Amino acid sequence: MKVLVTGAAGFIGFHTARKLLARGDVVIGLDNLNDYYDVALKEARLRQIEGHENFHFVRASLEDAEAIGELFLTHKPERVINLAAQAGVRYSLENPHAYIDANIVGFINILEGCRHHAVEHLVYASSSSVYGANTLMPFSVHQNVDHPLSLYAATKKSNELMAHTYAHLYGLPVTGLRFFTVYGPWGRPDMSLFLFTRKILAGEPIDVFNNGHHSRDFTYVDDIVEGVVRTLDRVAQPNPNWSSDAPDPATSNAPYRLYNIGNNNPVELMYFISCIEKAAGREAEKNFLPLQPGDVPKTYADVEALTEAVGFRPRTPIEQGIQNFVKWYRDFYGV
Ligand SMILES: NC(=O)c1ccc[n+]([C@@H]2O[C@H](COP(=O)([O-])OP(=O)(O)OC[C@H]3O[C@@H](n4cnc5c(N)ncnc54)[C@H](O)[C@@H]3O)[C@@H](O)[C@H]2O)c1
């Protein structure tokens, strides 16, 4: 298959592109290599895949309608995985426009490209943050998610709504994936595992938000990618049992599906930190701080819909995943 992977220099996009290449697909990788975090890390990820004969890289921004139109015309991808986005909850408080540009304007350009070039299936990243103010655990795709707590979450929920209209109007099969706190080798420098590891190894204190009372359904990147590729292969179909009298939010009478991809096993922040300390061989000095605006105290994924559809659920234990990350970090940065 010829697959367009947007955000191919990003954490999840790079791992996804690598997996598709390994199984023989042709990958068109798009990324604008922006400086939201260290560009050298994005370039280093790209170097891992750039030499592959089936990989073609296009440097462009999602919000550049002309460039995206040109890309679809030139490369004619059969399927699309949209992972490029402005990520991060806290950054959305200071830079709201970046989220509208990449996640809203950018996403409409992807939808239009898919529509006009008869793409067989669009799979796109949503986020556990869409559960916002919900407290009924575990979070299920069958719940209502109309109370986002950050603009980032609102843009991801908007993507789900926009995708539904294209599934309804043009019969474009669309699958939205709500990822739960993804971690692992080549991870993002703005996320807690990377920040904590760097500081612990440097002997610097770490900031522990919500006084350590957070818990997160941390999900290992290989499990996320397995879920992405399996859902890519299973083209979204209309749900024959969908009823407008009692509308299931996760399906439709249009070819529209939503899945959580999470570990189904929330981990307390203090235990998470103790695993990093163990892997790093050092104890952290901790600065306890209050809950940050926009943050939610707990996430916990119900993955029944995913398991039923593609016969897979994430399974990497947190201890193993953290060990893999710390090993990668030490090798990559020579610490
Ligand atoms: N990592 C997580 O825990 C997590 C959780 C939930 C959802 N997600 C979503 O998964 C997707 C991938 O996340 P990630 O962790 O790999 O993030 P990332 O920031 O590492 O990757 C995103 C990539 O997209 C590129 N990009 C950003 N805006 C762009 C634009 N306008 N045009 C072209 N390229 C652009 C960036 O340069 C980056 O390389 C995102 O949509 C994110 O919102 C991630």
Cβ–Cβ < 8 Å for 239, 252:
yes
Does the Cβ of 102 fall within 6 Å of ligand 1?
yes
Burial 224-258 (b: 16+ CB within 10 A, else e): bbbbbbbbbeebbebbeeeeeeeeeebbbebbbbb
Query: Which one, of 123, 150, 138, 148, lies nearest residue 264 by Cα?
Result: 138
β-sheet bridge partners, residue 125 = 177
Q: How many A from CA of 188 to the centre of ligand 1?
A: 9
DSSP one-letter code for 122: E
Does the Cβ of 34 fall within 6 Å of ligand 1?
yes
User: What mean pLDDT is reported for the chain?
Assistant: 97
Please provide the CATH number assigned to the domain covering 2-183+219-262+301-315: 3.40.50.720
Give me the pLDDT at residue 189, please.
98
What global pTM score does this model have? 0.98
Three-state DSSP class for 26?
Answer: strand
- Kindly tell me if the per-residue pLDDT of 294 is higher than 90: no
At 138, the pLDDT band (50, 70, 90 cuts) reads very high
Choosing from 57, 182, 195, 260 the residue with most ligand 1 atoms within 8 A of its CB, the one to mutate for a pocket test is 182
Does the Cβ of 61 fall within 6 Å of ligand 1?
yes
> For tokens 């953290």, what's the residue?
322
Which residue did the predictor score with more confidence, 34 or 297?
34
- The structural domains of the chain, with segments of one domain joined by +, span 2-183+219-262+301-315
DSSP one-letter code for 290: P
DSSP one-letter code for 31: E
Hey, what are 3's tokens?
């697959």
What confidence tens digit (pLDDT) does each residue in 88-117 have?
988 999 999 999 999 999 999 999 999 999
Q: How many A from CA of 9 to the centre of ligand 1?
A: 9
Give me the pLDDT at residue 43, please.
98
In 265-331, DSSP assigns E strands to 267-268, 286-288
Give me the pLDDT at residue 109, please.
98
At 296, the pLDDT band (50, 70, 90 cuts) reads confident
Q: How many A from CA of 245 to the centre of ligand 1?
A: 36
The enclosing H or E element of 81 equals strand 79-82
Mean pLDDT of 119-132: 98
Hey, what are 105's tokens?
């304007």
Give me the pLDDT at residue 61, please.
98
Mean pLDDT of 245-252: 98
Give me the pLDDT at residue 90, please.
85
pLDDT > 90 in the chain, percent = 97
At 292, the pLDDT band (50, 70, 90 cuts) reads confident
Cα torsion angle, 61, 64, 68, 73, sign: negative
End-to-end CA distance of the chain: 40
Mean pLDDT of 121-126: 98
What confidence tens digit (pLDDT) does each residue in 45-59 have?
999 999 999 999 999
Give me the pLDDT at residue 78, please.
98
What confidence tens digit (pLDDT) does each residue in 186-219 have?
999 999 999 999 999 999 999 999 999 999 999 9
Give me the pLDDT at residue 15, please.
98
Give me the pLDDT at residue 118, please.
96
List 152, 166, 220, 329, catalytic entry:
152
- From the CA atom positions of the chain, what is the Rg in Å? 19
Does the Cβ of 127 fall within 6 Å of ligand 1?
yes
Q: Is residue 170 annotated as part of the catalytic site, yes or no?
A: no
Query: Which one, of 167, 176, 64, 160, lies nearest residue 119 by Cα?
Result: 167
What CA–CA distance (Å, rounded) separates 124 from 27? 16
For ligand 1, what atom is nearest to the CA of residue 102? 31
Angle formed by the axes of helices 318-333 and 192-202, nearest 10°: 60
- Kindly tell me if the per-residue pLDDT of 293 is higher than 90: no
- Kindly tell me if the per-residue pLDDT of 295 is higher than 90: no
Does the Cβ of 49 fall within 6 Å of ligand 1?
no
Q: How many A from CA of 88 to the centre of ligand 1?
A: 9
